[in-house]
Chain A
Amino acid sequence: MTDIAPSTGPASASEHSAAGHSAAEHSAAGHREVERIPYDVVVIGAGGSGLRAAIEARLAGKRTAIISKSLFGKAHTVMAEGGCAAAMGNVNSNDNWMVHFRDTMRGGKFLNNPRMAELHAKEAPDRVYELEAWGALFDRTKDGKISQRNFGGHEYPRLAHVGDRTGLEMIRTLQQKVVALQQEDAVSHGDPEAMIKVYAETTITRLIKDGEGRIAGAFGYIRETGQFVVFEAPAVILATGGIGKTFKVSSNSWEYTGDGHALALLAGAKLLNMEFVQFHPTHMVWPMSVRGLLVTESVRGDGGVLRNSEGKRYMFNYVPDVFRAQYAETEEEADRWYSDPDHNRRPPELLPRDEVARANNAEVKAGRGSPHGGVFLDIASRLPAEEILRRLPSMHHQFKELADVDITKEPMEVGPAQHYVMGGVEVDPDTGESCVPGLFAAGEVSGGMHGSNRLGGNSLSDLLVFGRRAGLGAAEYVGRLGAKLPVADEGEIEAARTEALAPLQRPDGENPYAVHSDVQETMSNLVGIIRTETEIKKALADLETLGVRASAVAAAGGSAYNPGWHLTLDLRNIMLMAKCVAAAALERQESRGGHTRDDYPGMRPEWRKVNLVCTLDGDEIRISRQPVPPMRDDLIALFDRAELKKYLTDEEMAALPAEAPASVAAASEEAH
Chain B
Amino acid sequence: MSYKAALRVWRGDHGRGDLADYAVEVNEGEVVLDVLHRLQATQAGDLAIRWNCKAGKCGSCSMEINGRPRLACMTRMSTFTEDEVLTITPLRTFPVIRDLVTDVSFNYAKARQIPSFTPDPSVGLGEFRMQQADVERSQEFRKCIECYLCQNTCHVIRDHAENENAFAGPRFLMRVAELEMHPADTADRRDIAQDDFGLGFCNITKCCTEVCPEHIKITDNALIPLKERVAGRRYDPLVWLGSKIARRPRSTGTPKVPDNRH
Contacts and interface: CB of A to CB of B under 8 A. Distances in A.
B142 A565 contact: no
Interface stretch (B9-17, B162-170, B218-226): B9-17
A601 interface: no
Contacts of B6: none
Interface in A26-80: 70-74, 76, 78-79
B139 A137 contact: yes
Contacts of B261: 186, 191-193
A82 B76 CA distance: 26
A: interface residue count bin: 35 or more
Contacts of A135: 116-117, 119, 179, 182, 185
B46 A186 contact: no
B125 A74 contact: no
A137 B135 contact: yes
B18 A12 contact: yes
A187 B258 contact: yes
A73 B146 contact: yes
Contacts of B58: 70, 74, 78-79, 253
B99 interface: yes
Given A78-B57, A133-B119, A558 B46 contact: yes
A181 to B, nearest CB: 9
B116 A176 contact: yes
A162 B138 CA distance: 12
A427 interface: no
Nearest to A562: B46
A62 B232 CA distance: 44
Interface residues of B, number: 78
B49 interface: yes
A528 B214 CA distance: 34
Interface in A181-238: 182-183, 186-187, 190-193, 224
B170 to A, nearest CB: 17
A294 B55 contact: yes
A294 B145 CA distance: 17
B40 A143 contact: no
A526 interface: no
Contacts of B45: 18, 511-513, 555-557, 563-564
Contacts of B119: 133, 135
Interface stretch (A266-274, A282-290, A435-443, A573-581): A282-290
B116 A74 contact: no
Nearest to A565: B46
B207 interface: no
A70 B111 CA distance: 18
A561 B30 contact: no
A409 interface: no
A118 B113 CA distance: 40
B180 to A, nearest CB: 13
Contacts, number: 224
Contact of A179 (B29, B43, B74, B116): B116
A180 B98 CA distance: 31
A564 B57 CA distance: 24
B139 A145 contact: no
Given A183-B112, A562-B46, A13 B19 contact: yes
A402 B79 CA distance: 11
A79 B57 contact: yes
Interface string B167-192: 00000000000010010010000000
Contacts of A191: 260-262
Contacts of B41: 511, 513-514, 517
Interface stretch (A123-131, A485-493, A660-668): A123-131
Contact of B125 (A7, A133, A163, A190): A133
B57 A168 contact: yes
B59 A74 contact: yes
Given A133-B125, A140-B132, A179-B112, A288 B117 contact: no
Given A16-B44, A144-B131, A398 B17 contact: no
A401 B13 contact: no
Given A511-B45, A563-B47, A125 B126 contact: yes
Interface in B94-120: 97-99, 101, 103-104, 108, 111-112, 115-117, 119
B48 A137 contact: no
B51 A254 contact: yes
Nearest to B215: A397
A387 interface: no
B14 A10 contact: yes
A9 B139 CA distance: 46
Most chain A C-beta atoms within 10 Å of own C-beta, residue among B40, B104, B135: B135
A17 interface: yes
Contact of A254 (B14, B34, B52): B52
A454 interface: no
B129 A143 contact: yes
B53 interface: yes
A222 to B, nearest CB: 11
A288 B60 contact: no
Contact of B116 (A180, A287, A397): A180
Interface in B197-251: 215
Nearest to B44: A17
A138 B20 CA distance: 46
B128 A168 contact: no
Contacts of A565: 46
A368 to B, nearest CB: 24
B50 interface: yes
A119 interface: no
Contacts of A564: 40, 45-46
Contacts of B83: none
B43 to A, nearest CB: 7
B84 interface: no
A106 interface: no
Given A169-B142, A187-B258, A132 B128 contact: yes
A123 to B, nearest CB: 12
Given A13-B12, A192-B259, A513-B40, A253 B46 contact: no
B142 A137 contact: yes
B125 A288 contact: no
A13 B17 CA distance: 7
Nearest to A165: B143
B31 A16 contact: no
B257 interface: yes
Contacts of A14: 20
A433 interface: no
B54 interface: yes
A202 B132 CA distance: 39
8 contacts: A10-B11, A144-B128, A162-B142, A165-B57, A168-B57, A179-B112, A179-B116, A288-B30
Given A9-B16, A79-B58, A557-B45, 6 more contacts: A10-B14, A13-B12, A17-B44, A288-B30, A511-B41, A562-B46
Interface of B: 9, 11-14, 16-20, 27-31, 34, 40-60, 74, 76, 97-99, 101, 103-104, 108, 111-112, 115-117, 119, 123, 125-126, 128-132, 135, 138-139, 142-146, 179, 182, 185, 215, 257-262
